[in-house]
Amino acid sequence: MNREYPYNETEPLMDELKDAAFEYLLLNPGSEFGDWSKGLIEEYPAEVVDALGNTPNEVNADLADLWETDYTDPKTGIEQKFSEWAMSFANEHAVGIYYFLVDACTDLKRMGRKF
């Protein structure tokens, strides 16, 4: 997780893990760090191993770092830490509001406007 890439690029395998990490939070409202890290390891094992390796202590430490890492949602352009996304998706109602926001962003893009 400590590799450097030029021009603010990140490792493609890490990007896949970040996408999976966001998806997990979206599909599992109310997740906290423990739920999220365990869920990633169980439901997205290939992404975790490819990006972080298979040494349990290192994986857990890297997931703890990832929890406090920014992620930009490609559908809305909103950037938050994974811990903040978890709070944003605290319950099913909040996830429903997110999907309304995604629809609004899509409509704005069609009109040539930005969110």
Task: Report the domain count for the chain.
Answer: 1
β-sheet bridge partners, residue 81: 70
Range of the structural domain that residue 61 is part of: 6-110
Q: Average the pLDDT over 42-59 and give the result.
A: 97
pLDDT for residue 7 is more than 60:
no
Residue 47 within a domain: yes
Closest by Cα among 17, 1, 30, 49 to 95: 30
Q: What's the pLDDT score for residue 44?
A: 98
Q: What's the pLDDT score for residue 4?
A: 54
pLDDT for residue 10 is more than 80:
no
Q: Mean pLDDT score of the chain, rounded to an integer?
A: 93
Residue 1 within a domain: no
Q: What's the pLDDT score for residue 114?
A: 73
pLDDT for residue 42 is more than 70:
yes
pTM of the shown model: 0.88
Residue 72 is inside which H or E element, if any? strand 70-72
Residue 100 within a domain: yes
pLDDT digits (tens, 9 = 90+) for 91-100: 999 999 999 9
